[in-house]
Each structure stands twice: as structure tokens, then as C-alpha cells.
Chain A
């Protein structure tokens, strides 16, 4: 584009003077001008559509409960009443702690297991590798609804239904999507590095741990964030496996809060405030690791 110091009008005025020498007609600049304005309007409107519901939600959480459906943007009176209420009415800290526990255990286990499996598929040659890797892809496409019931039965056999174990321990065995993603990243690391380390006497585990992992760090961070997000948001898992409110995660707790309103009618202010609290940690993580989020997603589809 043209230098930002010139306004479009200035450019438009200059063009006729230069026009005598310029080989091509330049009113294109004027057309782009209009397009740019339309584009900008479109983008701002879209941003409003995406962001406004969220801002509205946060504003409402600071309004007095009676104003939950008020059409005013700002609270008539700023209050933290809703926040005090929600923390006294339900064990929100406890639910948050449970959710963090599940998310952290899930992230650590899935990162370690998926990366070591991905290393095997990417860098080691062994009989049956290609067939097994095809199987990994196959399991990724297998709908979760099919295995849902027997998986419950298996955890039930282990006597772990009602605990937090079923919500994360499956991650100890890696996850097809992450294995695929990490393998694609590892394939981009030059084989020479591995060969050189081999010649220096490093074992394969050493190569995985000290060479591969540091080199694919961005992908590892992306996997960690995706998994944290998935575990933080998971609703169906807790719904199936948890029955004691002390063990609830935030997603299930929020739902139980709504269910508890049945007779009095929904207390929207509490529900919405709890939703804000539920979302804030994800937003913080998002802004801390935004780059990895975006790059990770950008890479998932392309390679392969």
C-alpha cells in the first residue's frame, strides 16, 4: 500500500500530475479507498458481534440483580453483590480447584505421552509403523459416542466412577490428534540432528528428551493449551462420571446451579456471574499464550 503519511485525497490529487508519465490508469486507488472503508466497517461490525455479547455479560455481572435484563449498557450502580452471592451460595473455589486439577493432570499426561509416541512415529523405524500410524488417524475419526458407554463400564470396573480419574487418566495414553500434530512438527526437524546425536552415543530417549522436545516447543505449548482448554470446558465427562457436588468441575457446577433454580425461577445474575468467573481463567491463558494458540491452529490443518 501507499505510504501512510499521504491521505487518499492527497494521493488522488497527485495522480493526474504523475499520470502523464504513468503507463497505467490509477483511479484504482480511489476504488480501493471505498473498498477499504467498506472492509473496515464490515470488520468493526463483526468485531462488535463477536465481542459485544461478552462485554454485555461482564457489565451485567456488575449490575444489581434486578437489572439483569435492563437495556442500559452501564450499571445504574456498580456492585460486586453478584460475586459475593455466588461465592457464598456455591462452592465455587472448590469447583475451580477440581477443574484446575483435572486440567493440569490432563495436560501433563497428554503432552508427555503424545510427544513420546509422536517421536516414535516420526523418527524411529520399526516394523508395522505405517499401519499403526494409519490406525492412529482412524481412532481420531472414531466418534466418541460409540465408545462412551463401554468406557464408563470399564471405569466402573476399576471402581473409579465418582472420582476425577476418568476425566483425565485416559490422557496417559496419548491422544490421536496431538500425536498426529506433534509428529508432523517432528518430521520438520532435520534427521541429521538425530543421526549426529546417535553417533555421539545418545540413546533414543535422550534424543527425544534433550533434542526433540526443546525443538518442537511451540507445538508442545500449543498442545498443552488446547488440552487445557478442552479439559476446562469439558461438560459431558463430568456429567457422566461425577455425582458428588464436592467433586464437581466448574462446567458441571454451573449446570447444577442452574438446575437448582427450578422452583424459584432462574437467578440470572448469579448464573451469569458464575459464567464470567468460569471464563476468566481461559481468557488470561489465551492472552498469555495467544501466539501459540494461533500458530498451533494454523498448523493443524495445513500439514499432512
Chain B
């Protein structure tokens, strides 16, 4: 983070300007500070408060203590289902996203001709709006007439019930999301290009083969990006919403197999006839705790495997 340490010593710059500069500094960050108070800190605390109440927006919140949490964790058929769906989805999506993004980036990094064309081709799906992507893929993966299943049948392979079989709904969403791996791929590509060539040369001289060079040079050198991409993937996968909602419906399709936590939260809060803001806030906080724990583990664990080239201080 901030490289300039400015402890008590008013080091080089003119001291008389300091208060002037400080005031300008405070003014410049004022937009963010107001936004932080109104749209982050207040909602954050309100959400915690709501989770202990019954609240339907029209009447003031009514305090119910831990009731929402109790009901959620012991007496709700759909919440465990949504939690399980989300975890299964995340377990498929996160590793697959990282591996494919890295794989595609490595291919691109090796290529010498038409790199611009290929980079654009691989990135293009990522700018397709999520709702359009969703319809595109449920059409392509339509179990009866879709192009994928028609092709599979034509060559005598089994045709999965992508959108109708509870087993296949989550893989269907994973495929759709992997199609849009462009952003992670570009970050990996930039990281790969940043690995100094002489490291590979030195490794080769020491007798390292391609696998050793990948494992002992490439992976450590790009571990910072892996950390970034995996953190973002975790946070977004645990909050998956649009694909499930659009490709299936607000109940998560066949047997609620694509009902994810945020979809369930959304349904309780805004679904027709619900408006259970208190209950939905409790769902949000359980999700928040899960994300917090996973992210903390991720940050703690990263000390072991993330290599910071410039980290000479400390």
C-alpha cells in the first residue's frame, strides 16, 4: 500500500503548506466519505439490525431477536438447499475458471502470430451482457433442439438434459460463466508477460525441464495474480445470481437445483408476496459470514504461496 511513510517527521516538503494540503486532501476525498457513510456504513449496520427484526418496509421493524437465524438454520427447507447449490457451484467454477484462464493465457503468451486477433476472440464473450449470454446458452444447450445436443446425438453420444435435469443445471451455468473468462485471462496474460526472461534461461541452464520451469518459475512469479483472481472468483461465485435467475427462474429451475443463496435472499426480500426484509437480511449476514471466513482463510493461506517480488521491506 502507501509507499510514503510520513510519521511524525515533517521530512522534505514545506511545512507551512501542510494544513492547506490536509484541508484540500479532506475535501478531495469527501465524495467517497459521504458515499461510504450513506451507502456503505449505514446499510451495513442497518442490515445487521434488520436481521434481528420482522420488517416489510411498510411498517417499522419489529424486534424478534434471533428468531430469523433460528428459523433459517433449523426450520427452512430451501436455505440448506441454496447453500449446498452455491457451494457445489463455487467448487466447480472457481478452480475451472482459474485453470482455464491461466491455460488460455499461456497459449496466448506462446503464440507469435495473430496474437491480437486471438486475444480479441477470447475476450469478446466477456463483453456480452450477462442476460444475453444466459439466453444464448440456454438456446445452444436446449436439451431437445439445441445445437449441442443435436450434434451429440448425430455422433451417437448421450445428450444431457442441460437445463431440465437437476444434475446438469449447475454445470450449465459453469459453462456459461467459463465462456466469459476474458478478464481473468487478460490479467494472467499481463502477469505472464511480466515474468523476466532471464529467470527461464537461468532455470534452463540449471537443467529444469518445461514442467519444472512452469512449477518453479512461472507459478511463483504469477502467484500475485492467482491470489487476486481467486479472491474475486470466490466472492463472485458465492454471490452468483443473474445466470441462475435468468436461465432458470426465481425458484432455481428443476428441483430448485439452481437456487443460489443470493437468489433465495432476493426472493424473500423482493419476490411477489414476500417483502421479508428481516429474514432476507439474516440470509445476507449468514452469507457475509461465509464469505468473510473463506476470504480470511484465503488471505492467511496466501502468505504461504504468494510471492511478492518487491516485498523487501518488513
Q: Hey, which bits of chain A sit against chain B, CB under 8 A?
A: 1, 39-40, 42-43, 46-47, 50-51, 53-54, 56-57, 68-69, 71, 113-114, 116-117, 119-121, 124-127, 129-130, 132-137, 139, 141-154, 156, 170, 172-174, 179, 187, 195, 198, 203-205, 208, 229, 232-233, 235-236, 239-240, 250-251, 254-255, 258, 268, 271-272, 275-276, 278-279, 282-283, 286, 290, 293-294, 297-302, 304
Interface residues of B in 11-25 (CB under 8 A from A): 13, 17-18, 21-25
**Within 8 Å CB of B265, what residues of A?**
145, 148
- A53-B179, A130-B1 known; A120 and B29 CB under 8 Å? yes
Q: Which of A50, A173, A271, A276 contacts B32 (CB 8 A)?
A: A173
Expressed in whole angstroms, the Cα–Cα distance for A150 and B183 within the complex equals: 30
Give the complex CA separation of A69 and B22 in angstroms: 65
**A117/B31 in contact, CB under 8 A:** yes
Of B74-82, B165-173, B188-196, which binds chain A? Answer: B188-196
Contact of B189 among A130, A153, A298 (CB under 8 A): A298
Q: In the complex the two chains form, is A251's CB within 8 Å of B129's CB?
A: yes
Chain B, residue nearest A136 (CB): B32
Q: Which residues of A contact B179 (CB under 8 A)?
A: 50, 53
Q: Which of B101-121 contact A (CB under 8 A)?
A: 104, 107-108, 110-112, 117-121
Q: Report the count of interface residues on B (CB-CB < 8 A).
A: 100
Q: Is the CB of B190 within 8 A of A146?
A: no
A-B contact pairs, 25 of them (CB 8 A): A46-B122, A50-B124, A51-B124, A69-B150, A113-B31, A113-B32, A120-B24, A126-B23, A137-B1, A141-B295, A143-B235, A145-B239, A146-B44, A146-B285, A149-B43, A149-B280, A151-B39, A170-B39, A173-B31, A173-B34, A203-B24, A239-B266, A297-B183, A300-B187, A301-B229
Q: With the chains together, A129 CA to B28 CA distance in Å? A: 11
Q: Are B107 and A39 in contact (CB under 8 A)?
A: yes
Check A282 against B129 for contact (C-beta < 8 Å). Answer: yes
4 A-B pairs with the lowest CB-CB distances in the bound complex, closest first? A173-B35, A120-B28, A126-B25, A298-B190
Complex: A251 Cα to B187 Cα, angstroms: 27
Chain A neighbourhood of B199, CB < 8 A: none
The yes or no answer to B203 lying at the interface (CB within 8 A) is no
User: CA A47 – CA B78 in complex, angstroms?
Assistant: 40
A residues in contact with B183, CB < 8 Å: 297
Whether the Cβ atoms of A39 and B187 lie closer than 8 Å is no
Q: Is the CB of B228 within 8 A of A301?
A: yes
B165 to nearest A CB, angstroms?
19
